[in-house]
Structure 1
Amino acid sequence: MKTPPNQRSALRFGNGLLPWWAGLLAVAFLAPRLLCAEPEPPVAVSPEHRIKAAYLLNFTRFVTWPGRAFLNAGAPLTIGVAGQNPFGSVLQQIIEGEKVNGRPIVIREFAPGEDLTQCHVLFIPRAESSRVPAILASLRDAPVLTVSETEDFLEQNGMINFLVQDKKVRFEIGQKAAEQAGLVLSSRLLKLAVRVITNKSETGK
């Protein structure tokens, strides 16, 4: 049985053997029943958010930040979560020991009112959807990759938005917003998105 073209593209970022994290991405495309499964105790994190946590790490490998985003060559890459953290300890477990371009990765939770520019990736959970306009306004032109799971996130100038299609976690990309912030997204990442908004047009699958 042949793998459908859209699944093959999701599994191949390059030639040769797949890196370890490709298996985590594959879960999102090849396990449609996963989102219906019960969370495993004692961590009350949904299967959907386990997949999204893996994606957050993988996104960092396909984004280039401008030099001004880091204090120095050894500064860590910070993944922030705005408000209520839906990942529990899962995100911390996933990034443990990982590096991006030689930089260690750290997780930081941001309470309302804190300076959100002090991270490189910011996840805005569904529970914080009412704050999306204010959060994005506070990050205008800052080199922060904004990621969410809220309706119309790209239309509000967000950069990556998760959505569930046919019980599979997918994502759409606002390339225009990323470029305005000085971020460069890999073409390989763009090819996996179900929709991409660019400076010139909007493409979708």
Structure 2
Amino acid sequence: MIVFCLVTIPNIATSAPIPEYDMKAAYLYNLAMFTEWPQNASNSPTNNTVRLCILGEDSFGASLNNLSRSRNTGMKIQLSYLNDAKQADFCQILFIDKSEIKNTASVLKLLENKSILTVTDNEELFRMGLMVGMFLDKNRLIFDINYALASAAKIMISSKLLKMARHVI
């Protein structure tokens, strides 16, 4: 009995790693919490509801479903899955999947002069002109922020997030 306990306790005490897209979903929620959009923009959040849109393949699966449920913070996330970037006009956050890399230039052209926070988990897409990039580094999720692009879109990202970012451009 003692040998059994000694062998199994270390396995029980070790916590399982958080799946990658569960972590990314949590980061998207924090982006929504710590970002401010201009009040006069056509896509300004209403009733503490932020519209999170996914463009391209949905790699998140069920990870985003928990975001749309009400939390103690009062912030609500409304999920929308887009077939085309032309549908993004009322999004506050647009997550662009790597499957859209071939369309990135036209997507960014459509989003010009709109206060939509663009996010990806693909480094090449981020370098093409997105505002937030989330990346895995040794099983740790890190993120970069292109503050210049966000500011140009009149989106204010909290200093709390800026301090946590690996790189702020």
* Aligned residue type for 1:111: N
Cα deviation, residue 158, structure 1:
0.9
Scaled by the length of structure 2, the TM-score of the pair is 0.80
Is residue 140 of structure 1 aligned with residue 123 of structure 2?
A: no
CA contact (8 A) 1:154 1:173 kept: no
What is the DSSP-based 3-state SS (H/G/I as helix, E as strand, rest coil) of the residue aligned with 1:108?
strand
Deviations along 1:112-158, one digit per CA (max 9) or x if unpaired, are 25421220001111222222222222111211110001223343221
Comparing both structures, which one devotes a greater share of its residues to helix?
2
* Aligned residue type for 2:56: G
Q: CA RMSD in A?
A: 2.3
Pick the aligned partner of 1:66 from 38, 43, 46. Answer: 38
CA contact (8 A) 1:57 1:95 kept: no
What is the DSSP-based 3-state SS (H/G/I as helix, E as strand, rest coil) of the residue aligned with 2:24?
helix
Using a 3 Å threshold, how does the CA distance of structure 1 residues 148 and 73 change in structure 2: closer, same or farther?
closer
Q: 1:85 corresponds to which residue?
A: 58
Count of equivalent residues: 154
Is residue 95 of structure 1 aligned with residue 78 of structure 2?
A: no
Identity of aligned residues (%): 27
Q: 1:34 corresponds to which residue?
A: 17
Q: Tell which deviates more after alignment, 53-62 or 126-135.
A: 126-135
Is residue 56 of structure 1 aligned with residue 28 of structure 2?
A: yes
Distance 1:78 1:169 in 2: 23
Cα deviation, residue 73, structure 1:
4.6
Distance 1:55 1:99 in 2: 17
Q: Which structure has the higher relative contact order (CA within 8 Å, separation 6+)?
A: 2
CA contact (8 A) 1:53 1:94 kept: yes
What is the DSSP-based 3-state SS (H/G/I as helix, E as strand, rest coil) of the residue aligned with 2:76?
strand
Unaligned runs of 5+ in 1: 1-30, 36-46, 198-205
Q: 2:7 corresponds to which residue?
A: none
Pick the aligned partner of 2:125 from 130, 153, 163. Answer: 153
Larger Rg: 2
Q: 2:9 corresponds to which residue?
A: none
Q: 1:107 corresponds to which residue?
A: 79
Using a 3 Å threshold, how does the CA distance of structure 1 residues 58 and 76 change in structure 2: closer, same or farther?
same
CA contact (8 A) 2:36 2:156 kept: yes
Is residue 167 of structure 1 aligned with residue 149 of structure 2?
A: no
Scaled by the length of structure 1, the TM-score of the pair is 0.67
Distance 1:194 1:72 in 2: 27
Cα deviation, residue 164, structure 1:
1.3
